[in-house]
Amino acid sequence: MTKAQLDNAFLTVSEAGEKAFVPYIMAGDGGLESLNERIRFLADSGATAIELGLPFSDPVADGPTIQAAGIRALEAGTTVQAVLDEVAKEKASRNVPLVIMTYLNPVFAYGVEAFASACAAAGISGLILPDLPLEEEGLVVEALQKHEIALIRLVALTSTPDRIRALAERAEGFLYAVTVAGTTGERATFVDQLGTHLQELKEISKAPVLAGFGVSTPEHVKELSQYCDGVVVGSKIVAALHQGDRQQVAELIRSIKQA
Amino acid sequence: MAIYPTETGHYGSFGGRFVPETLMPAILELEKAFKEAKEDPDFQEEMRYYLKQYVGRETPLYYAERLTATLGGPKIYLKREDLNHTGAHKINNTIGQALLTQRMGKKKVVAETGAGQHGVATATVSALLGLECIIFMGKEDVRRQALNVYRMELLGAQVVSVDQGNGTLKDAVNEAMRYWTANVEDTHYIFGTAAGPHPFPQIVRDFQRIIGDESRKQIIEAEGKLPEAIVACVGGGSNAIGMFYPFVDDRDVKMYGVEAGGMGLPTGKHAASLTEGKAGILHGSLSYLLQNEDGQVQEAHSISAGLDYPGVGPEHSYLKDAGRVTYDAVTDEEALEAVRLLSRTEGIIPALESAHAVAYCKKLAPVMDKEDVLVVCLSGRGDKDVNTIREAHETGGDSYD
């Protein structure tokens, strides 16, 4: 059921002729007690799915905004278990799929099989591990399959054609198209060839293609979503929630409808 | 023992390539370039030239007669990596990786540094080969090692102070990896220790194994036999793996890797990843790691900035589990005592890192025979640490006169 919930959400969006919007939030930033309320707010604002960051001490794929959010969450005492327990509370009533984004070590320390099992119990649909390339995914694939958790793979601008093909063929949940050569965080512009790159991915991917990293304005959302199935917005959402600017978050999510 | 790493960069269950997809093509390109370079006589000749004429190899294997007499145990030989250009073993690796950078047609390098030794060694070879060089260094280290910062700048490098996280070596590595991710098309990351994603642990080992290769030849010349034991300090583990690797199949040679025990293992304020850590993933490889129950990496503590790292190279983790190398720790205080011991008996001020290996000789001496031979890797000289050592004396942590 878990993985299927994510697939269904994308199917619903695409059948309506719309694009997907997946906001990222850092679990524990702003207090774990506000987590479920934030998830409801994002779902009510129109999020297709929600990416839930589990903080890690050494987030090499993240820029300053998400790094800072992770430090706030860790300083507030956020643990893997506490986050899973918290989201499990509203599993039955939640109407939006959740995907966890974290690094391999917290999962490894928890135990890969135990983590996959706990994710399934908490109603998590997918897992994104930016420091787990194709070459190493054998560490987690079996456990995730067993518990029907999608392993969401990232494709980079630097990926070679053979790697892109391999990633697209294995794609499940969605294929995460990294839109910049670099870390997460706001950018003014993207490379010229990005549109073509996204279109090519969409042609061969077995799962929806979502663009992310550096997507931060309604203009970005409109521009990028025309080439693929939707967008992931992280740093901008994290920063706006931290500042208490929910209106900006809602406007960003709405911008996908005008795409 | 079997030949490691495997094709996929694993050492038993350790090692691997845990990096973002953006970096994978560069990692694979590096692996290919390194394989080709190893087979290329011209590259080998170039390496030999620079190591001899520029670095000053081979370094002596020096019989420390007064130290031996003072400790009253085995004959102690010091492998004098402190006599290399820039004062430590680090340059064996940076010269090799800088030549690889040229080979890959890249013109820029990035590196992390703790105390500044690897940063200086990287800035040095960058100046030598005309590469653009950017060094990431934790904010705290920038403050403590102002002279090394200036040294790198004098050599033409740009030094970036890292205040992300806690502003230590681990954060400097994170930031260097982020910079590399954003600039991977034209930049090579000169990783400073035998850790990181494959092929770095192998590259660093193969460039550092000259320490052990020379030592093996020199000790046979001097003593007509292999040593009974070898000691080296372990932070990330580059001098140690360089020293150990050529002796791994010499089963009668005991090997000891000495980690930084900081304020003592029971205090939790140490950098003893192999002795006290558990397997985990940091900076691209699976290896022993200082971490909490939740998989968050912990800060390391050591008076020696070069050992002040919560991770360790994967091959050391493998050698530990295989039982081939014994890993143990000595405290800050023991290392400081060893600085004084070596300075007063031999007229050699060791780096605080290397002093950990010297300190361990005091522990080994009583359990070895006088006829035995003990080889110690003196990985660097102590000039950079004189201020730290003086401060430690003045705060009275030790009974120095």
Residue A139 to residues A143, A175, B212, B374, Cα–Cα distance (Å): 9, 19, 34, 41
Q: Is B284 on the interface with A (CB under 8 A)?
A: yes
* Closest CB to B182 among A67, A109, A183: A183
Contact B126, B189 (CB under 8 A): no
For residues A66 and A29, give the distance between their C-alpha atoms in angstroms, rounded to a whole number.
Answer: 10
Domain B57-87+208-396 in the same topology as domain B25-52+90-200: yes
Predicted-complex ipTM score: 0.96
pLDDT for the residue B33? 96
CA angle B164, A134, B93 (to 5 degrees): 55
Residues of B whose CB is below 8 A from A58 = 165, 170-171, 174, 282-283, 297
**Cβ of A52: how many Cβ atoms within 10 Å?**
24
pLDDT for the residue B396? 62
- pLDDT tens, per residue, chain B with 401 residues: 667 999 999 999 999 999 999 999 999 999 999 999 999 999 999 999 999 999 999 999 999 999 999 999 999 999 999 999 999 999 999 999 999 999 999 999 999 998 899 999 999 999 999 999 999 999 988 987 888 999 999 999 999 999 987 788 999 999 999 999 999 999 999 999 999 999 999 999 999 999 999 999 999 999 999 999 999 999 999 999 999 999 999 999 999 999 999 999 999 999 999 999 999 999 999 999 999 999 999 999 999 988 999 999 999 999 999 999 999 999 999 999 999 999 999 999 999 999 999 999 999 999 999 999 999 999 999 998 998 999 998 876 544 43
Contact B77, B71 (CB under 8 A): no
Tokens for A151, please give them.
Answer: 């392993």
The pTM of the full predicted model, rounded to 2 decimals, is 0.96
Residue A67 to residues A42, A53, A59, A72, B270, Cα–Cα distance (Å): 21, 11, 7, 9, 25
pLDDT for the residue A189? 81
Q: Which residues of A touch B (CB under 8 A)?
A: 55-61, 63-64, 67, 71, 74, 79-81, 103-110, 130-136, 153-160, 163, 167, 178, 180-183
**Is A99 in a helix, a strand, or coil?**
strand
Contact B299, B174 (CB under 8 A): no
Contact B329, B270 (CB under 8 A): yes
* Closest CB to B20 among A61, A64, A110: A61
Residue B50 to residues B93, B239, B273, Cα–Cα distance (Å): 12, 19, 34
Contact A255, A52 (CB under 8 A): no
Contact B81, B88 (CB under 8 A): yes
pLDDT for the residue A186? 79
Determine, for residues A109 and B291 on separate chains, whether the beta-carbon distance falls below 8 Å.
yes
CA atoms within 13 A on the CB side of A79: 10
For residues A206 and A208, give the distance between their C-alpha atoms in angstroms, rounded to a whole number.
Answer: 7
For residues B30 and B164, give the distance between their C-alpha atoms in angstroms, rounded to a whole number.
Answer: 28
Determine, for residues B178 and A106 on separate chains, whether the beta-carbon distance falls below 8 Å.
no
> Does the annotation count B90 as an active-site position?
yes
Determine, for residues A109 and B17 on separate chains, whether the beta-carbon distance falls below 8 Å.
no
Determine, for residues B280 and A109 on separate chains, whether the beta-carbon distance falls below 8 Å.
yes
Residues of A acting as catalytic residues:
51, 62
For residues A167 and A183, give the distance between their C-alpha atoms in angstroms, rounded to a whole number.
Answer: 20
- Residue B77's beta-bridge partner residues? B63, B375
pLDDT tens-digit series, residues A121-130: 999 999 999 9
Side chain identity, residue B158: Q
Class of domain B57-87+208-396: alpha beta
Residue with tokens 């509370």: A89
Contact A53, A69 (CB under 8 A): yes
Phi, psi for B62 (deg, rounded to 5): -100, 130
Q: Where are the domains of chain B?
A: 25-52+90-200, 57-87+208-396
pLDDT tens-digit series, residues A199-239: 999 999 999 999 999 899 999 999 999 999 999 999 999 99
Task: Report the CATH number of the B25-52+90-200 domain.
Answer: 3.40.50.1100
Determine, for residues B291 and A108 on separate chains, whether the beta-carbon distance falls below 8 Å.
no
For residues B243 and B208, give the distance between their C-alpha atoms in angstroms, rounded to a whole number.
Answer: 7
Which region among A29-33, A58-62, A183-187 has the lowest average model confidence (pLDDT)?
A183-187
